[in-house]
Structure 1
Amino acid sequence: MDAAMEDAAAQSEREWDGGGGGGGADAVLGLAGASLSLCYHEAFGPQDELILLEAADDLLPDLLQGRVTVRGRPEEEAVLCTPSATYAMKFVGNSNSVFLIPPGESAAPTSRPNATDGDDNVASATDAVASIIKVASGNIELVRTAPRLDKLRKLLNERPYVLDEDLGSDVQHKGLYTWQDLCELVQASDGELTEQLSSISAVEIDGFWRMVDDSSANTILDMILHNSVLH
């Protein structure tokens, strides 16, 4: 999914960079005065693949370096996870119009409509021009939340480990979960997930995270105690 998002972003940048008959974001960033002319970019439209995300400064390193993931099943409310924390994602509508301006070269300055050759001050006054690709109706806010770990114990209890089990075929792997499976199914950061696995005494056996059946756990403890007495 990350690769697909990168490809889409690269494609969008190729489409928007310097095109559309208007200036890019640099026209706004380098604006000296308060006047800015807007035009519609040739790609103007819903642009459903673009959405604004509001994030605190301490989240920027993880966001910019690609250390975040969005987790959740289609029927669940999505959360954003950094390596160590979980954030609820809440959409907040904008009361004012927010224009999205792609990167690109600024268009040549244009004279203001009331400019005349006889008025040097007015004639020399120009407006920067920027092209817009979307009007954003709102943005996503990130709110720190507790990891949703109730599902973890339920998943691992589907098939607790027993000493005499046979995992000889893929069919017999039903009800077993690898680390990657748990990351896709449980809405928690990697750090929070690791901590919870430790707290419930789950162990990784043959690549699958398991709870140990009580009877098997008692048998293993008896074997350990017996060996310690012998040696």
Structure 2
Amino acid sequence: MGNLRFFFSISNGCTLHLTEFGDSFIMSRTREEVEATLQTAKVNVEDLRSTAQCLTFSETFTSGDYSLMEVDDALCKELEAGGSLVIRGDKGDHAVLCSQNKTYDLKIADTSNLLLFIPDGKTPDLLPADQLPLSIVSSEIAGFSNHYWELRRCRPKLKKLKKLLLENPFEGPENEKNTSASMYTTEDLLNQIQASNEELMDHLKAIHACSIKGFWRLLDFDYEMKLLNDITQLMDSESWSFSRVPLKVCLEELRILHPKEMIEHCLECFGKKFSEEGEVLFALEEDKICRVTAQMILQNAVKFNLSEFQEVWQQSVPEGMTTRLDQLKGLALVDRTSRPETIFLLKTEDLSEDTQERFNTLFSMREKWTEADISPYIQDLCGEKQTIGALLTKYARSSLQNGVKVFNSRRPIS
């Protein structure tokens, strides 16, 4: 290897001087040699910190044993506090990196600057205060790289989660057979789902998953509706307000029909828990119950006459609750162009997680969309600080139709 000679200057920092590296020797620099090099480079020693770091290649120097990763301030603080980062993904997945509560895409970024690994290198705040004459500190280079891992915040990839849990849904204690098959603990799911711990737990709650004997299970939809129906029938027979449902009485009255854990789980899914004078109560949420009731009505029909559906829907919810079409955003779609007007089930969770594929599917179903209609089906695609408007600008074209702004695909849809 021929001789190499480098000079580095860091603004407001210290002087770095890479020593001459020959075929069979490494020489340390003296203060006089450093000052001579500065003079050759036409750099005034007074303009730099008074400590020069002379760099030499270590005997175990390598270029392949190290990887660099660029982290933001939040991630850096999390690591300094003892947190950890985990890379997740199966062989066919694009790897993601997860912190405790966020997911990041991993991308290799090349750099034209050679990045040196100096384990005992010192930043200016770790060096002695400025003093004359110039002092010399020796540091060894352990390796180098010309690329690093760049992190970009991304949405967690959660579509696989429901598919796994539907392998063995909970249909009631009387239907439990082989309880060891197709069931997953939290650790099992973290090993297969590309999401952070908090994102995974939040989504498990959102899809009404329940922990049963340490395994996460989805309730079979028919069983969940039977649970909810038994609770609302009890409310009706006891003349309870849906804003004040006593947990204790529910458990006592329904314990023959359902396990206590399932009764409380159902109340937690469709209501908000609160305490009053030592009693645990639930306020059932009107929008959630109206929404799941609509799903029950629509799931067995390809399309439903809108006016007939609205009539049946209102009759099916508990007394005192009012159904509204805006409760069905991201669950069902109304076709105003058909005669008579119709409504059909279209769940956001059934659409692709890939943004372009999602838009392709939506535009293959309907050529033109109003923003109000399409927004519920693309809201979850918005990244950090990204708006629905920005997504539509990128993936759709806008035009006016009878004075109403509509969007169609930027790409031909086969």
TM-score past 0.5 threshold: yes
Aligned to 1:173, the other structure's residue is in SS state: coil
What corresponds to 1:41 in structure 2? 58
What corresponds to 1:53 in structure 2? 69
CA pair 204-184 structure 1, distance change in 2 beyond 3 A: same
| Distance in 2 of aligned mates of 1:46 and 1:165 | 59
1:101 aligns with 2:118: yes
CA pair 125-68 structure 1, distance change in 2 beyond 3 A: closer
| Distance in 1 of aligned mates of 2:103 and 2:27 | 40
Query: Which stretch of the first structure deviates more once superposed, 147-156 or 55-64?
Result: 55-64
Q: CA deviation at 1:174?
A: 2.3
Q: Scaled by the length of structure 2, what TM-score is found?
A: 0.39
| Distance in 1 of aligned mates of 2:84 and 2:167 | 31
What corresponds to 1:32 in structure 2? 49
Q: CA deviation at 1:77?
A: 2.0
1:173 aligns with 2:180: yes
Aligned to 1:132, the other structure's residue is in SS state: strand
Please give the residue correspondences for 1:76-87 in structure 2 after superposition, counting only pairs within 5 Å. Answer: 76-87=93-104
1:211 aligns with 2:218: yes
What corresponds to 2:168 in structure 1? 159
Q: Which of the residues 130, 142, 153 maps onto 1:133?
A: 142
- Matched to 1:56, the amino acid is D
What corresponds to 2:196 in structure 1? 189
| Distance in 2 of aligned mates of 1:52 and 1:224 | 56
Give the aligned CA root-mean-square deviation in angstroms.
3.0
Q: CA deviation at 1:52?
A: 1.1
| Distance in 2 of aligned mates of 1:197 and 1:219 | 21
CA pair 161-202 structure 1, distance change in 2 beyond 3 A: same
| Distance in 2 of aligned mates of 1:83 and 1:22 | 47
Q: CA deviation at 1:222?
A: 4.6
Question: Higher relative contact order at CA 8 Å, sep ≥6: structure 1 or structure 2?
Answer: 1
What corresponds to 1:18 in structure 2? none
CA shift digits 1:104-128 (9 cap, x unpaired): 89xxxxxxxxxxxxxxxxxx86754
Q: Scaled by the length of structure 1, what TM-score is found?
A: 0.67
CA pair 192-125 structure 1, distance change in 2 beyond 3 A: closer
What corresponds to 1:200 in structure 2? 207
What corresponds to 1:118 in structure 2? none
| Distance in 1 of aligned mates of 2:75 and 2:112 | 25
Note if contact 2:120-2:139 (Cα within 8 Å) is conserved in structure 1.
no
Larger radius of gyration: 2
CA pair 167-39 structure 1, distance change in 2 beyond 3 A: farther
Note if contact 1:92-1:139 (Cα within 8 Å) is conserved in structure 2.
yes
CA pair 209-22 structure 1, distance change in 2 beyond 3 A: farther
Q: How many residues align?
A: 182
Could you tell me the percent identity over the aligned residues?
A: 32
Note if contact 2:84-2:99 (Cα within 8 Å) is conserved in structure 1.
yes
CA shift digits 1:154-200 (9 cap, x unpaired): 111111112223456xxx42211111111111111122112211111
| Distance in 2 of aligned mates of 1:147 and 1:32 | 46
Q: CA deviation at 1:53?
A: 1.2
Note if contact 1:47-1:133 (Cα within 8 Å) is conserved in structure 2.
no
